């Protein structure tokens, strides 16, 4: 498979505009408040400079391995996204099928429009994204059901005690005013199926003790998503997390939060080899993924570009997007003199990674 992922993914967005209802497109694309963090995400990856190795045998380059105990073909993955059934009639099931073919994990939003059973039936490796509720047992029951249907890990989102403000023109329709109820909430209890995430209560008292409790309750690896600080990452691992996910929620929560490209290195430094490190945010090419891995991530996950691929071309579009990213990453590894993902560590010019 050959081609340029960056150009093709950019073209997908314009094609998706012809398919998606305007409120859905706006909801998926928007950031918090003045969208400062949203605007900086991709540029931050471009700021990083690499110091490639030479005189290395790169005839064979190995992208595959294991992530949280599951085999992977690439150190890539699908980030959690709601409203996928607005992009494609089969929504998360179609996305999971594409992820299964690509050999990468998919993280299923707790507000998905497809059931755990249907996603599990695709054979994909999938993890549940979970918001903690004020009454812990409500979230725990959702987790129990996900694990029963094959969730291989749980991803606890910790950067959303409340939903960040996103500005809209007064005359714009809100997505939740036009959304089909079938697009969301397929796994939530009837009493909790308020479609708008802002209308569902979230715990504002999350603490390290919650991590150990969730890990013990689920029996599967636990990832803490929404970490930008090294000290928070270390605390999460100390409390029982198997992984930390460097994320600013796609620029949708606290505006003017730092770009993830500038945070992943400090998180890796804080946790060492004691935990899996994931990163997302503004990744638009295999080269960006290579930078994320070089900075210390074990895997790089994408959201919006794959949503647009699903809208424009269905599961075939997602497969093509993941294939292009895989091929670009493989090329970058060869050019950097890295025969496997682990060898990418250390090819970053530490004096040119932006402020840390």
pTM above 0.85, yes or no: yes
Alpha-carbon distance of 355 to 351, in angstroms, equals 9
| Closest CA relative to residue 222, chosen from 111, 135, 143 | 143
Q: Which pLDDT belongs to residue 1?
A: 43
Helices (H), 34-159: 36-47, 84-87, 91-102, 116-120, 136-148
Sign (positive or negative) of CA dihedral 49, 52, 58, 64: negative
Indicate if the alpha-carbon torsion angle 51, 57, 63, 64 is positive or negative. Answer: negative
d(CA 287, CA 328): 6
* Residues identified as active-site: 249
Compare 356 and 151 and report the one with higher pLDDT: 151
Tell me the per-residue pLDDT of 125-171, one tens digit each, with 9 for 90 and over: 999 999 999 999 999 999 999 999 999 999 999 999 999 999 876 66
pLDDT tens, residue by residue, 199-237: 678 999 999 999 999 999 999 999 999 999 999 999 999
**Is residue 157 annotated as involved in ligand binding?**
yes
Is 319 labeled as ligand-binding?
no
Question: What per-residue confidence (pLDDT) applies to 191?
Answer: 64
Residue 283 assigned ligand-binding role: yes
C-alpha to C-alpha distance for 351 and 344, rounded to whole angstroms:
17
- Which residue, among 317, 158, 151, 139, has the nearest Cα to 248 in the 3D structure? 158
5-342 belongs to CATH 3.20.20.10: no
Cα–Cα distance measured from residue 128 to residue 110, given in angstroms and rounded to the nearest whole number: 7
**pLDDT tens, 20-66?**
999 999 999 999 999 999 999 999 999 999 999 999 999 999 999 99
pLDDT band for 293, please (50, 70, 90 cuts). Answer: very high
Determine whether the annotation assigns residue 27 to a binding site: yes
Tell whether the model's pLDDT for residue 320 goes beyond 80.
Answer: yes
Name the residue among 107, 116, 112 with its Cα closest to residue 82. Answer: 112
- Residue 178 pLDDT exceeds 90: no
């Amino acid at each position: 498979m050959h081609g340029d992922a960056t150009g093709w993914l950019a073209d997908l967005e314009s094609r998706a505009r012809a398919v998606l209802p305007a409120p859905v497109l706006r909801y998926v694309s928007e950031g918090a408040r003045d969208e400062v963090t949203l605007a900086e995400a991709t540029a931050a990856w471009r700021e990083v400079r690499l110091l490639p190795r030479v005189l290395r045998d790169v005839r064979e380059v190995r992208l595959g391995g294991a992530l949280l105990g599951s085999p992977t073909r690439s150190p890539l993955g699908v980030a959690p996204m709601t409203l996928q059934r607005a992009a494609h009639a089969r929504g998360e099931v179609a996305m999971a099928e594409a992820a299964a073919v690509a050999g990468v994990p998919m993280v299923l939003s707790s507000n998905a429009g497809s059931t755990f059973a249907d996603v599990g039936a695709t054979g994909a490796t999938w993890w549940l994204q979970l918001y903690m509720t004020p009454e812990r047992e409500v979230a725990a029951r959702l987790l129990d059901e996900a694990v029963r249907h094959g969730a291989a890990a749980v991803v606890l989102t910790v950067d959303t005690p409340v939903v960040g403000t996103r500005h809209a023109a007064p005359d714009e329709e809100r997505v939740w005013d036009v959304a089909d109820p079938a697009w969301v909430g397929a796994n939530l209890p009837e009493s909790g199926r308020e479609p708008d995430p802002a209308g569902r209560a979230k715990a504002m008292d999350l603490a390290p003790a919650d991590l150990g409790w969730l890990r013990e309750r689920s029996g599967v690896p636990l990832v803490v998503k929404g970490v930008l600080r090294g000290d928070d990452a270390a605390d999460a691992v100390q409390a029982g997390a198997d992984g930390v996910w460097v994320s600013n929620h796609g620029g949708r929560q606290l505006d003017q939060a730092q770009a993830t490209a500038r945070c992943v290195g400090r998180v890796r430094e804080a946790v060492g080899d004691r935990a899996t490190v994931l990163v997302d945010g503004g990744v638009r090419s295999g080269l960006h993924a290579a930078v994320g891995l070089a900075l210390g991530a074990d895997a790089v996950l994408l959201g919006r570009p794959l949503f647009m691929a699903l809208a424009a071309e269905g599961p075939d579009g997602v497969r093509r997007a993941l294939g292009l990213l895989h091929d670009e990453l493989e090329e970058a590894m060869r050019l950097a003199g890295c025969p496997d993902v682990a060898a990418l560590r250390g090819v970053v010019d530490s004096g040119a990674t932006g402020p840390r």
